[in-house]
Structure 1
Amino acid sequence: MSNEKVYRQCAVSVMDTIADPDITFDDIGICNYCHEYRLAEKEAVVKGEKGRIKLEEIAGIIKKAGQGQPYDCIMGLSGGVDSTYIAWLAKQLGLRPLAVHFDNGWNSELAVQNIENIVNRLGFDLFTYVINWDEFKDLQIAYLKASVVDIEAITDHAIFATLYRLAGERKIKYILSGTNVHTEQTLPKSWIHPKSDHINIKSIHKQFGTVPLKTFPFMDAKVKRYYQQMLGVKSVSILNYTEYNKKQVKELIQQELGWRDYGGKHYESIWTRFYQGYILPTKFSIDKRKAHLSDLIFGGQITKEEALEELMKPIYDPGQLKIDFEFVLKKLGFTRDEFDALMKLPPHSHYDYDYEMPIDQRYPLLKPVKTIYRKLFPVKK
């Protein structure tokens, strides 16, 4: 008898057993991601007039906390749809954010143009953090050699660390986050690794890296205990209090801010485009469009038929893939044969390397100390 799993697709979305072999279905064929979306929407999303009131309330709290300071909040600005819309919303709410762009060396020219348009039209100050390219390049190559799935974790990690550090140093209490249920809820665990795990990054780099990470911004103890816990820097997902319709938002930011579309989620980065469009489907059999489109189905923004039609299109324009492939090889210093050899390595779990865990799990003898610490310093709710 064959052990091969029978193919199955969700009755509502386009998530299937190829996207996630561990997907589950209820009695009528609806997948776990649909139920998880409904639950997250119920718990986190506030729509209509109630959402508007909540958003105004949050803005009031942020303004009060930022009185007397040059900025009352901080926000990452990639030039993508989510961060651009957040910038527009911040202006409508009368907030004074410091826009922070994280330059990891992979910006497309269009992203640079979009960012310039956004800050100029909204009148925001822009701080650009330029990563040390030699360190970041070495870290990306280490991740390719480690053969793990979430290569983008290092960029996300560094962005979060940079935002928290800047906020703490400038006495800013709030970070405006683009994380939202509407477009980012569906994400199989097998596709990602916790973004705040600095131990995993250091472990992978120790085994495969060659350039010392002297300046790479880590979400280390200083960030997590000092900036987050002691100074109380908080991240706020303001998109969960809006009627976030992707198509309508794109039209709005095009008209208001002169924004131009990249043709894919997070494609403002050449590396992200190549990673999502080539590395993930080729090496890991992952088409991230399935998750993104499923969220839009769950939110009533598109139909399943429209999603299936979108999936029929090539995941990567052949002409663009050729251009990007040559660019990536040159920038990372690979020959085609060397890169192909990395792509043929068997995939590894991030947990094949060291990873962040509670201190009492790493050092069991400290478990009584943790219990005492929790009694002395209970978590504030």
Structure 2
Amino acid sequence: MRAPTLEELAPRGHDLAHDPCSVLADLRRKGPVHRVHVPGSGDVWLVVTREGVRSALTDPRLRNDIRHSATWETDGGHAVGRNMLQSDPPHHTRLRNLVAGRFTPGRIAALRPGIEAVARDLLARPPRPDTADLVSAYALPLPVTVICDLLGVPVTDRADFHTWSNELVVPTDEATAAASSAALAGYLTGLIAEKARTPDGTLLAALAADARTDAEEVLGMAFLLLVAGHETTVDLISATVHSLLTHPDQLALLRADPALTGAAIEESLRFNSPVHSGAFRFAAEPLELAGTRVAAGDAVLVSLAAASRDPLAFPDPDRFDLTRSPKGHLAFGHGIHHCLGAPLARTEAAVALRLLLDRYPGLALAADPAALTWRTSTLLRGLTALPVQLR
């Protein structure tokens, strides 16, 4: 008999996409680890406390390589190529070191003027009418432009790239997701070959020329950086604006003191957790996790969203508060798989927020917050659209 899904654990009529955190809080009150069913993936151990999540993310017996799964049969777990997210040391260490130097705080600081230029260009395009969808008009094109520029994806291909990427992180159905995966793999394979023939100084060209990588690794790296490099930042930007517009007292604090922009981003990361859960991990041997026995081959899923609203770490965790110190939130994960692109995401979100509020001092929601819809998957959560009045 399979375990219940989160939807089945939610109260009757509850919209889990709109409010997953209350369901996770109910589980957290009952204990740190629960057996739940993830459609398409099977039964997993779900970890919902901050300490439990931190422990799981640093336990070397929990591996990211799907070949440690009791149900593994093929390499189908590697969606496109071989990447850091689905590998363990020493392979993971080698892959991460190939690109880590491109994402240091210093390197990202050097990108800030370019990020500001992209944001200003988007804001300079007057909407008609004065009500616009902030996601499609601003929160999406900003990080897409930045990561595609960094890797070297041509402007003419970026719409297709995002369509494929979105289908992979929030699948419509299995067949469409498989077709998108194949299309993206084929496109990236061709692009990598082109960069190898005609190097242009982009990150993808550098990876293609690196003798320490093979074709599958470059493909996996390109896939991971392109998809992870924009999907989560889109959700972070839009969710931060949503939280500020639905908490006018906090928006007023930020307008009065723009130096709180960084604090607003950190609190939004804690409060909204664009990466809802970490990647699946698999027990390489029997172990005990927060008091629960986990068998070899079992899958473990850590809820970053639940961890970042654990009241033992964050008093009054369901309150959006720019004055709190959210140090220790787990929005970017923890341990060796801590998000490599965290400095880039923080910079993009801070630039996007500051320039948006400067440009539109009367920015307001143009829809009932309860009517907004959220796209969800096992890993990610974000707004499908955010109608705003630009004034």
TM-score (norm 2): 0.32
From the CA coordinates, give the structure whose radius of gyration is larger.
1
